[in-house]
Structure 1
Amino acid sequence: MRNKLFVLIVWLCASPLMLLAQKSAKVTSPDGKVIIEVTLTAGSPVYKVSYKKQAVINSSPLTLDFDSGAWGKNLKMSNVNYSKADGYYDLVVGKAKHIRNNYREAIIPFEETQKPFRKINLVARAYNDGVAFRYMFPKQAGWKNYTLYDEHTNFNLAGDPKALVLFLPSYTSSHEGPYTHEPYSKLKVDSLMDMPATFEYSNNIYLAITEAEVVDYAGMYLSKNSDGTMRGKLSPLPGQDKEKVKAVLPHETPWRVAIIGDRAGALIESNMLTNLNGDCKIEDTSWIKPGKATFPWWNGSVVPDTVFAPGNNFETNKYYIDFCARNNIQYHSVVEYGLHEWYVNDGPDFFPGPNADPSKAVSSLDMQKICDYAKSKGVGIRVWVHWKPLYPILEKAFAQYEKWGISGMMVDFMDRDDQEMIKIQEDILQTAAKHHLHIQFHGSSKPSGLHRMYPNEFTREGTRNYEVYKWDTTINASHDIAMPFTRMLAGATDYHLGGFRAVPQSKFKVRFRNPLVTSTRCHMMAMYVVLESYLGMVCDAPQAYEGQPGFDFLQTVPTNWDETRVPNAAINQYVTIARRNGNNWFIGAITDNQPRNHAVKLDFLGDGEYTADIYTDAADTDTNPNNLKKETKTVTRKDVLNLPVAANGGAVVKITKK
């Protein structure tokens, strides 16, 4: 792929007389609706954000705490460089293909007027769908490197919007848990909140706060202060609490991002995070092929009654490879059997022992034979790996995977996003690209748009998903509906999709093998469209799918998109998402535990007639949630589809041009 970004830069420098008294800089979005203004006060620089002349973030201070002392006071603002850019680039994997990058920008230089005379630039951008800013530390005399103790980036929200947030117990977390949905004023103080965090204002303004291009830096969280403001908190380097980032100049922070819109769906449609990342770093991307994948761990590595013994062996994997070949599933995942990994490990419960070696398969498993057979069937092979024994032998392991013919892998149990772990993840992506391997980060933090630079990153977890059905009762449709408005705003969201054994909530019980689910069949199908993920998991056992209503949709639904629209959305209640792949459109609608009717305008279609295959919840899904109704009709862009959605339900539509 060649990213093509045609940029028009216009530098507007203030006159020398103006610079002497310059105290503020204002950046307005191309459409004039979004404004970020930075003002230098005696205490620090402060910024504020407005949308359609309404305050969204009130004056919020920006200070930094280094090993060389605090930064924020005794500053002067020098020549502000204003610029604008408008161009396009293409994504290899994403929720859209051809993306416009249109913004206005200001580079605001600050310099201390007293020792140590440090120079730091604040870069502020305004897009039609939000604002972003970052700190840049230019190369300079007398300051070669730094240790950052704290980045005091504040967010002083205007008014009392309703918040949808995930509280976390610590910085070392798998980022899994229930979401809190209540007025901002009622949120508990001094507690870590994951990002993205979403806020709904009473005047139909929606705001999501997150970060973009997290590279060689610590991940950021939010925490509410006792005075009602909110601040960013960085994940500390391992083994202590004080030091957050260590760097050599020149250096820059990730972008601090506020996505803004007048519809909840506008947050989902936004491409700000990839806009804020750099161009693709992989020269040849022809080998990068998104698709769907089995993940037999979820169903308990179930096989039918056979003449072979199930386990870490060729025959068990052949059974799943044949299933993939029959049903347009691009990848089979070699995971484990009997709670033991496919690779050599002498540690307990998937954790690495002293002799763990993910470059060597267990004696019962001929990985070369498996890969050769899968290739003959047009199926790719993926593997699961714990990051800790993998990272020290990254080159050795990935070279072996490439030799076998493995296509990619799930890297698990990272559970951190300090600067060290962020660097480890980038090393994994870079080395994987060298050996033509795609990556699925599991047990990890949120994405930040890096799939523009490293399109071999197919998806990340960073949320509680359907694996929880195997051991708890806390996952359900009401949890799912939080995803599009929070975690998914950061990018591809890894879920163990495809549970086809639905039961009413009253009949649910935890099962490790052949696990049950509590949302309707149509809800489960719709999640393939609602979620952004370039590796759609097909996690149930083959016999749960073949011959079952709705499996034909799973066979055809893509995982990579050319365009995304959100016709209907209400935060934490319901959402309808329409995604285009080539000439075909796929619509997914889900709701919480309340039944609804989704009226979907088809004005996003082109001219002419289309065939719509429509799958909706059947009338008896309260007792038989696997039941569905399918109908086919001719539609045009003037039509409105009425999709009845049951409690805990969903609907899907495949639309093809006649």
Structure 2
Amino acid sequence: MAVQPRARTIVSMLCSALLATTAATLPAHAESPAAPASWEVRGPLGSPTAVVSLDPADGSPTLAVRRAGRTVLEPSPVGLVTEQADFSKGLTFTGRTDRAISERYTIPTGKSHERLVRMTESRFRFRTADGARLDLLTRVAPDGVAYRYVLPEDHGDVVREASAFTLPSTAEAVISAYRRDNELPFVRYQSAAAVPAGTYSMQALFKTDGGYALVAESDLNGSYAGSHLTHTADSPTFGVSPWNDEPIQVSGSLTTPWRAVITGDLATVTESTFTDDLAPKSRVRDTSWIKPGPALWTWLAGGKEAGQSLEAQKKYVDYAADRGWPYEVVDAGWYYKPGQWDVIDPDWQTNSWMPELVRHGKERGVEIQVWLHYTLLTDPVEREKWLSTLERWGVKGVKIDFMDSESQERMRWYDDALEDTAKHHLMVNFHGSTIPKGIQRTWPHVMTLEGVGGEEKRNNTAVQLAALPFTRNVIGSMDFTPGAFHRPFRPNVQSDAGELGLTVLYESGIQNLAGTPESYDARPEARRYLEQLPTGWEETRLLTGDPGRSAVLARKAPDGRWFIGGTFAGAAQDVDVPLRLGAGKWLVETVTDGPSGLVRAPHVVRGGDTLTVPVVADGGFAALACRWYAGRTSCDR
């Protein structure tokens, strides 16, 4: 009996659901080489669709991304070329294997501690005319599409990638030029084709007909090099090139990093943990010693002199203790000869005052983290000496600076440094560094990374402040070091409320607060707010925003309170903020700029209401929300 149209529809729906939700025991299947030259990969309900195709004319593979029938990514080249084989064309499809992925993991840093991963993975197998094999591994999740290459056999060094991202011609772009420290500003362009020719960072945001798309990378280690985007004028295509276009050294089989597109509406992209979800599981078995939290960072507060003064550092520790901040970070200078700069004391292990500072801090509930130039840790013997000594002294973390490279050699150094810092129970903050790329899932003792032109830089703008929540900070913790109210160069210098809001708007496992004690004491409302900052977040929600123009995020603390930070570029205005905090009544305490300083104001609202907040030019605000009950007048803990 013929199957009726409605029955065929039901069968089709059931088959799609089975592929998206079945556990990893889903049986593999191999398709015939005569299968169509185009194959779809569908993820869990609501996911985008990846389309892998093979050009019948020249055997070149492409990958496209659609969402709800609309284009996110046009068919884009995939493949790579090695010394011995060209896997960018002349390929023949030989089979496909599918499986569903369902995982849960916890992570001490980031937008949330608890993570749920649901993806569909498809492995497409191709061969060259000479029989060399390339597997294209593709994953689709509700918030993204990613692919990587697997070479089961050694075919020599990788000469180049054919990988590229071709955007729709009308796609808007928010993108930063590439530099080895990843610290250049983001610029907004009306179309992808209007982006000037050049090299760009692998954290580019595009607004397409099918939603936003953030290009990123994940699972980068010393088997490969960090990559950047390349662009030619008047083209909507952005190629992928490894560091300095140097060959990737390969010995044996190869699995490349993931090339990822985080996609969805703006909230989906902003709240995504896709690059973490793609990364390997934690390599640190016992994570009980990994404890995020706010820190008083003494570099912008005291400079070089403070770095060489035990008495100054003790005073900073005392101030952190009074605020309830769990850490104080000692920057450059502490291991140099007294009165000299950049001259290491050869007897630093015996002459250092650091053990005394650690003891002083422990008595007051404040742990110490210290700055190191990465060159101290390049030799394995020297690295062991430094790290073992710091562990013995009781130091809890290291801020490692000036790597300034994403070469394969430097990524191999990262591998070694990560393993050794974990062995010695030292949390890590990387400066002059790569960007996260999944590192915080695999190595959860990485609290934060720079990879951003932070508070100490003088070239930030209000536009940059409003671009970072949708670009750099999407892919992992970002050490912007907010809170430097005393800095005359900050773009929101007329908005102390905006500066305060950055401490929530920007996520960092160690939130290094860069102000002076005097600047905090002169702003009691800011000091009060900073004393409330939690050690981590349970959930992150975008309340409203427009990349490069505005951003308002809410982050949920473990005690159920929501912290809110907002920043805006442009003229003074009253902004409407939707409160996506949950049903029921809430007390929301806003901190805004007034004629005589910061003003704290209570508002009793319902979840889902819109709150109107006054913002000065190139300014912002901070807020704290808690459940309201009769008689409650404050959200203080």
Q: Structures share a fold, TM > 0.5?
A: yes
Give the Cα separation in 2 of the matches to 1:233 and 1:15: 30
Alignment partner for residue 533 of structure 2, among 557, 563, 579? Answer: 557
**Contact 2:195–2:233 (CA<8 Å) still a contact in 1?**
no
Q: Which one-letter code corresponds to 1:570 in the other structure?
A: D
Q: Which one-letter code corresponds to 1:342 in the other structure?
A: W
Query: Is 1:500 aligned with 2:516?
Result: no
Q: Which one-letter code corresponds to 2:137 in the other structure?
A: V
Alignment partner for residue 367 of structure 1, among 354, 379, 395? Answer: 354
Alignment partner for residue 149 of structure 2, among 120, 135, 143? Answer: 135
**Contact 2:374–2:400 (CA<8 Å) still a contact in 1?**
yes
Per-residue deviation, 1:344:
3.8
Alignment partner for residue 266 of structure 1, among 223, 248, 268? Answer: 268
Alignment partner for residue 576 of structure 1, among 552, 557, 564? Answer: 552
Per-residue deviation, 1:356:
7.2
Q: Which one-letter code corresponds to 2:420 in the other structure?
A: T
Alignment partner for residue 213 of structure 2, among 207, 211, 215? Answer: 207
3-state SS of the aligned residue for 1:428? helix
Give the Cα separation in 2 of the matches to 1:356 and 1:282: 33
Give the Cα separation in 2 of the matches to 1:552 and 1:604: 22
Give the Cα separation in 1 of the matches to 2:503 and 2:22: 35
Match of residue 91 from structure 2: 75
Per-residue deviation, 1:288:
0.6
3-state SS of the aligned residue for 1:134? strand
Equivalences for 1:434-453 in 2 at 5 Å? 434-453=423-442
Match of residue 306 from structure 1: none
**Contact 1:334–1:382 (CA<8 Å) still a contact in 2?**
yes
What is the TM-score when the length of structure 2 is the normalising length?
0.88
Per-residue deviation, 1:150:
0.9
Match of residue 597 from structure 1: 574
Alignment partner for residue 392 of structure 2, among 403, 419, 429? Answer: 403
Match of residue 186 from structure 1: 194
Give the Cα separation in 1 of the matches to 2:272 and 2:321: 36
Give the Cα separation in 2 of the matches to 1:593 and 1:537: 27
Equivalences for 1:494-643 in 2 at 5 Å? 494-501=479-486, 508=488, 518-546=493-521, 548=523, 549-582=525-558, 583-605=560-582, 607=584, 609-618=585-594, 620=595, 627-643=597-613
Query: Is 1:151 aligned with 2:151?
Result: no
3-state SS of the aligned residue for 1:246? coil
Equivalences for 1:356-505 in 2 at 5 Å? 360=348, 363=351, 365-392=352-379, 393-468=382-457, 472=458, 474-501=459-486
Give the Cα separation in 2 of the matches to 1:224 and 1:554: 42
Q: Which one-letter code corresponds to 2:503 in the other structure?
A: Y
Decide whether aligned partners of structure 1 residues 540 and 35 sit closer, same or farther in structure 2, where only a CA change above 3 A counts: same
Query: Is 1:9 aligned with 2:17?
Result: no
Q: What per-residue deviation string (whole Å, max 9, x for no partner) do you get for residues 299-319 of structure 1?
A: 23499xxxxxx6623212111
Q: What per-residue deviation string (whole Å, max 9, x for no partner) do you get for residues 569-598 of structure 1?
A: 111110110111121111111111333333
Match of residue 123 from structure 1: 137
Give the Cα separation in 1 of the matches to 2:260 and 2:543: 24
Per-residue deviation, 1:617:
2.1
**Contact 2:30–2:97 (CA<8 Å) still a contact in 1?**
no
Give the Cα separation in 2 of the matches to 1:235 and 1:33: 29
Give the Cα separation in 2 of the matches to 1:454 and 1:90: 12
Match of residue 505 from structure 1: none
**Contact 2:193–2:236 (CA<8 Å) still a contact in 1?**
no
Per-residue deviation, 1:345:
6.9
Match of residue 343 from structure 1: 335
Query: Is 1:55 aligned with 2:77?
Result: no
3-state SS of the aligned residue for 2:280? coil
3-state SS of the aligned residue for 1:528? helix
Decide whether aligned partners of structure 1 residues 650 and 79 sit closer, same or farther in structure 2, where only a CA change above 3 A counts: same
Q: What per-residue deviation string (whole Å, max 9, x for no partner) do you get for residues 491-526 of structure 1?
A: 111112112237xxxxx5x6xxxx996251111111
Per-residue deviation, 1:375:
0.8
Q: Which one-letter code corresponds to 2:219 in the other structure?
A: E
Alignment partner for residue 228 of structure 1, among 230, 235, 248? Answer: 235
Decide whether aligned partners of structure 1 residues 113 and 356 sit closer, same or farther in structure 2, where only a CA change above 3 A counts: farther
Alignment partner for residue 617 of structure 2, among 625, 633, 647? Answer: 647
**Contact 2:273–2:475 (CA<8 Å) still a contact in 1?**
no
3-state SS of the aligned residue for 2:249? strand
Q: Is the helix fraction higher in 1 or 2? A: 2
Q: Which one-letter code corresponds to 1:325 in the other structure?
A: A
Give the Cα separation in 2 of the matches to 1:497 and 1:174: 19
Per-residue deviation, 1:58:
1.4
3-state SS of the aligned residue for 1:288? coil
Give the Cα separation in 2 of the matches to 1:436 and 1:277: 22
Give the Cα separation in 2 of the matches to 1:226 and 1:616: 43
**Contact 1:222–1:230 (CA<8 Å) still a contact in 2?**
no
Decide whether aligned partners of structure 1 residues 45 and 372 sit closer, same or farther in structure 2, where only a CA change above 3 A counts: same
Give the Cα separation in 2 of the matches to 1:105 and 1:488: 26
Q: Which one-letter code corresponds to 1:531 in the other structure?
A: Y
Match of residue 12 from structure 2: none
Mean Cα displacement is larger for which, 377-386 or 590-599?
590-599
Q: Which one-letter code corresponds to 1:541 in the other structure?
A: T
Per-residue deviation, 1:20:
3.8
3-state SS of the aligned residue for 2:183? coil
Decide whether aligned partners of structure 1 residues 377 and 31 sit closer, same or farther in structure 2, where only a CA change above 3 A counts: same
Match of residue 41 from structure 2: 27
Identity %: 27
What is the TM-score when the length of structure 1 is the normalising length?
0.86
**Contact 1:356–1:389 (CA<8 Å) still a contact in 2?**
no
Give the Cα separation in 2 of the matches to 1:90 and 1:322: 33
Report how many residues are paired.
600
Mean Cα displacement is larger for which, 490-499 or 292-301?
292-301
Decide whether aligned partners of structure 1 residues 162 and 427 sit closer, same or farther in structure 2, where only a CA change above 3 A counts: same
Alignment partner for residue 92 of structure 1, among 93, 108, 119? Answer: 108
